[in-house]
Structures are given as C-alpha cells and as structure tokens.
Structure 1
C-alpha cells in the first residue's frame, strides 16, 4: 500500500527549524508499505529553515512569527501534496501532529504561546475533504 507521510517523520530535515521529527514507528512501516514523503511547506515554495507559522484561530489564515501572511504557500503546498497522493493512489496519510500544514485534531492557536486548539492543518483538511484517512505519528495505526 502507498501511504503519504510527512517527510520530517522519516528523518528528512524539512521542519521549519531545519531539523526532522524522526519517528521509528513510522519508519517501521517501510517493511510493509511504500511511504511517499512530502513536506507541504517545501512543496509550497517555503525555504528550510523558515520562520515558524501557525493558523490564526478563527481566521483560517497562516501567519509566521513575524506576522507575515503565508497562507498562499501553505495552500499551494497542500494542493501539491494532494496531487502526489492522487498520483500514487494513496488512501492514507501519516502527518506531523500539531503542524499548521499537517496537524490532525489539535493545532497551535496562532499566538505562538504553545497553546493547542481543536483543528486541522491546511493539508490535513484538504486530504480529509478528498477522502484520504489521516493519522499522526502518535496514532495506533502505527502499531498494526
């Protein structure tokens, strides 16, 4: 099975801070599945490293720590990630929790205070709207 995966979870240095969030649980899935790495933020044209960004609660816009609206980068990246998911026939995705692109269920609230609110990242929401089942690196999907 082909599964879209946040590139940072596979050890690729694509996070905003230039690091990764290497997940051995996700990497273990390589034994049974084809994992397709994507970083929606890079696909949208953002550099690595880059300023951290959060979705402003209630507005749906994504702003970086300096107040710049970077929503268009996030939307373009989500569209490109979805195009890749279609190309590979992916029905599942494992995405980085809490991220403004990839978060599922909980995301940062847009104040850069570390506070979490209910919501999904832009890419995650696009995947869900398209019928792709989304998990994070913390979900039990990884244990099966």
Structure 2
C-alpha cells in the first residue's frame, strides 16, 4: 500500500479548495494500491483555508519544537500541522505502507524543497512536517515531481 496526498488524486483538499490531480496517482488509487490522505485536514484545518508556510525553517525544526507553521497574516497553525502529521503516520502504520507520494513544496507534504516562509515563492532545502515525520519513521517519501516509474509498477 502507498500513502498519497489526496489532492494528487483529484480530491479538493488543496488550501484554495482545488486539487493537484496527477493521473498517475489517481491510477494507483483506482487500482487499490493507494490510500489518500490530507494531513492538513486530518489536523483540523478547513478547506478552503489560508496558505501556510514554515517560518524560515523546515518540518524537522517544527517537529523539534524550533519553528512554527504560520499563515500570511501570522496565524499559527503549528498544532494542526503536527496533529495531521501524526494522524498520517498512524494511517501509514495501520495499513503497512512503506512508501508515500506527497505534494511537492507543501508545508505538510513537501519533500526536498519547501517554501521558505516569506510567501514570496522562494524555496529552501527541507521537508514539510508530515514528510519529515514519515521519513523519521522509515517511510520512503517521494513527490509527484520525482521519477515514480518503479513505484507505478
């Protein structure tokens, strides 16, 4: 089983109420190989919601209590992001998933690169909160931008 970001399956869970449909990920879902999750919704965030970014840090810093997840007006959603990450980890463990395909650059799901907290589109090296937690627990994390050829088989 593979954990996937719900927005990549065409489910309208994106912060603006839309989705990020990726036909390859939807195919995995249709074949019964994937379970869609939205860590932000699992943490209690509504859809639509304000965009959030990790304030000049990474998901590792949030998990270690050294950074916050904030909206453009400064609202703090750190607790919701942490709750969503741990709920996603629980689902991952319950279904025995060893792989996750998550939405690139997201403050929850981003892997390798995330937005820097300036809300200017700048990116930094690092993971979102959920991606970091999954990796710390032995889950191999990819984004839709990675080469997924082997996973798609």
Superposed CA deviations along residues 51-95 of structure 1, whole A, max 9, x for unmatched, are 000001135310011101110000000000000001100000000
Give the equivalent residue in structure 1 for 2:144: 137
The CA distance in 1 between the partners of 2:68 and 2:9, in whole Å, is 28
Which structure 1 residue ranges, 4+ long, deviate > 6 Å from structure 2? none
Give the equivalent residue in structure 2 for 1:56: 55
Tell me whether 68-77 or 134-143 shows the greater mean CA deviation.
134-143
Superposed CA deviations along residues 112-138 of structure 1, whole A, max 9, x for unmatched, are 000011010000000000000000011
Give the equivalent residue in structure 1 for 2:23: 24
What root-mean-square deviation, in Å, do the aligned CA atoms of Structure 1 and Structure 2 show?
Answer: 1.3
Give the equivalent residue in structure 2 for 1:113: 120
The CA distance in 1 between the partners of 2:139 and 2:103, in whole Å, is 15
Instruction: Give the TM-score normalised by structure 2.
Output: 0.89
Give the equivalent residue in structure 1 for 2:46: 47
The CA distance in 2 between the partners of 1:104 and 1:119, in whole Å, is 7
Of residues 78, 81, 86, the one that matches 1:79 is 86
SS of the residue aligned with 2:148? helix
SS of the residue aligned with 1:117? strand
Structure 1: tracts of 5 or more residues without a match: none
Structure 2: tracts of 5 or more residues without a match: 58-65
Instruction: Give the TM-score normalised by structure 1.
Output: 0.94
Give the equivalent residue in structure 2 for 1:15: 14
SS of the residue aligned with 1:140? coil
Tell me whether 74-83 or 28-37 shows the greater mean CA deviation.
28-37
